[in-house]
Amino acid sequence: MSGLLDRKLLFVTGKGGVGKTTVAAALGLLASERGKRVLVCEVDPKGDVAGALEAEASGFVPREVAPGLFVMEMDTEASLREYLRLNLRVPTVGRIGPVARAFDFVASAAPGVREILTVGKLCYEVREGRYDLVVVDAATTGTIVGQLAAPVGINELVKVGAVRSQTRWMLDILDDRATTGVCIVTTPEEMPVNEAMDLAARLESETAVHLAALVANRVMPELFSRSEQEVFDALSGAGRPAALASALGDAGDAAVSAVLDAAELAVRIRRSGAAHLERLRDALDRSLPLLYVPYLFGRAHGVRAVRRVAESLAEELGG
């Protein structure tokens, strides 16, 4: 299963709010700690990989935030400039300026251009091989298909010219299972799981990219074994909170009930989550890894949280 980090390009996506950025940062951190040179690229404008790692915000130029771990932010105009400089030897910034503006303009009404500049830059980094792994904090489930489908779309639209030949090699990178994969992050809740299932189907039918793994984030730990559950049910039964209160001596019934309520909530969340993850498991190829990351009761963001998530992922991935 550690094959996940042996790929060259990993898109991390999921419904908004499931912890996509944290998981992307954790995968990057884990791979870098295993000796890989890793680039984590922020594509989702709402994401903040650098922030999650509590590093200073980076720009289009990658910055090393930990040994072997580089962070960059996608910027389509900068990507275009780089493309023009590398491919067409357009020399001066002065001349690129208005061109880029015009392109930005075209891109705002003829989307696909923006998407291709994003995906193109990522594929370019893979082809250049300056990093062992590129992890993308990608767009949410709603928009990632549009992004990943852009090379296919452009390839159909543009019959000749440099872009046509450019999309060909991108598709070769994206289509190769050993090189590129998508990692869908979900929480064990109804809507995120529905979207994960939807997205898995759309990835296969509309894009060249393949699903590599699923991450179930914020999974509530199993509180009780079966025999413990029976005891707990008995403890919460009629009259029992009062018996507990008197056994404790100076406690009130309401306080005892609140404590029992919290455990009941944990059990309930755990059960409903397990049912949703079961649904997800059933809908997908059994051979796909489904990685569990436990709910963090402590601070759920920042570098400590990222490290905790990375540790859980390491356990799940093995090796």
Which of 61, 93, 102, 201 touches another protein by CB under 8 A?
102
Q: Which of the residues 187 through 226 are near another protein (CB under 8 A)? A: 187, 189-192, 194-195, 198, 223-224
- Over the Cα atoms of the chain, what is R_g? 23
Size of the site for another protein (CB under 8 A): 89
Beta-bridge mates of residue 292: 216
106 binds another protein (CB under 8 A): yes
Q: Is 112 in the site for another protein (CB under 8 A)?
A: yes
The 271-290 site mask, x for binding another protein (CB under 8 A), equals -x---x--------------
Exactly one of 1, 61, 93, 95 binds another protein (CB under 8 A); that residue is 95
Residue 1 or 99 having the CB closest to another protein:
99
Task: Examine residue 143 and tell whether it contacts another protein (CB under 8 A).
Answer: yes
Given 54, 56, 204, 230, the residue binding another protein (CB under 8 A): 230
- Residue ranges in 51-80 that form contacts with another protein under rule CB under 8 A: none
Q: Which residues, including other chains, have CB under 8 Å from residue 277's CB and lie 6 or more apart?
A: 188, 193, 216, 219, 290
> Should residue 294 be labelled a site residue for another protein when binding is judged by CB under 8 A?
no
Separation CA 309–CA 87 (nearest Å): 40
User: Which residues, other chains included, contact 217 with Cβ-Cβ below 8 Å and sequence gap of 6+?
Assistant: 18, 19, 22, 23, 185, 186, 187, 293, 309
Q: Does 235 bind another protein (CB under 8 A)?
A: yes
User: Within 25-54, which residues bind another protein (CB under 8 A)?
Assistant: 45-46
Using the rule CB under 8 A, is 162 a contact of another protein? yes
* Angstrom distance (rounded) from CA 151 to CA 164: 9
Give the phi and the psi of residue 85 in degrees, each rounded to 5.
Answer: -65, -45
Q: Using alpha carbons, select from 60, 37, 40, 61 the residue that is nearest to residue 51.
A: 40
Three-state secondary structure of 16-48:
CCCCHHHHHHHHHHHHHHCCCCEEEEECCCCCC
17: Cβ–Cβ under 8 A, 6 or more apart, which residues? none
Query: Please, how many CA atoms are within 13 Å of residue 200, restricted to the half-sphere of its CB?
Result: 22
Sole binder of another protein in the list 266, 283, 284, 288 (CB under 8 A): 266
How many helices (H) and strands (E) the chain has is answered by 12, 8
Give yes or no for residue 105 binding another protein (CB under 8 A). Answer: yes
Interface stretch with another protein, choices 2-10, 120-128, 160-168, 174-182 (CB under 8 A): 160-168
Interface stretch with another protein, choices 32-40, 169-177, 253-261, 281-289 (CB under 8 A): 253-261
The answer to the question of residue 137 lying near another protein (CB under 8 A) is: no
